[in-house]
Amino acid sequence: MARQNNPISAKKKPLPPDLPSADSLQVVEHLPITDECEFSKFIADNITLAAQDAADVIFEEGRFNHVIFQDCSLEKIRVRDCVFEKCNLSNMQWSSARLSKLELRTCKLTGLKLSEAEIANCLFESCVGLSLILTKAKFKRTIFSNCKLTEADFRFAELQEVVFYNCDLSGSEFYNAKMAGTDFRGSDLRSIKAYPQDLRGIVIDSNQSIELAAHFAEILGITIEDS
User: Over the stretch 201-223, which tens digit does the pLDDT of each residue have?
Assistant: 999 998 888 777 776 666 667 77
CB 172 within 8 A of CB 152: yes
Mean pLDDT to the nearest integer, 89-116: 96
Q: What is the dihedral of CA 204, 210, 214, 217, to 10 degrees?
A: 80
Number of domains observed in the structure of the chain:
1
pLDDT digits (tens, 9 = 90+) for 14-48: 999 999 998 899 999 888 899 999 999 999 999 99
Spatial separation of the C-alpha atoms in residues 62 and 217, rounded to whole Å:
48
Structural domain span for residue 186: 22-219
Q: What is the CATH number of the domain that holds 106?
A: 2.160.20.80
Q: What is the pLDDT of residues 150-201, one digit of tens each?
A: 999 999 999 989 999 999 999 999 999 999 999 999 999 888 899 889 989 9
Q: pLDDT at position 191, please?
A: 85
C-alpha separations of 71 from 49, 53, 76 in Å: 8, 9, 16
Q: Is residue 5 part of a domain?
A: no
* Arithmetic mean of pLDDT, 47-68: 94
Do the domain assignments include residue 191? yes
Asked if residue 9 belongs to a domain, the reply is: no
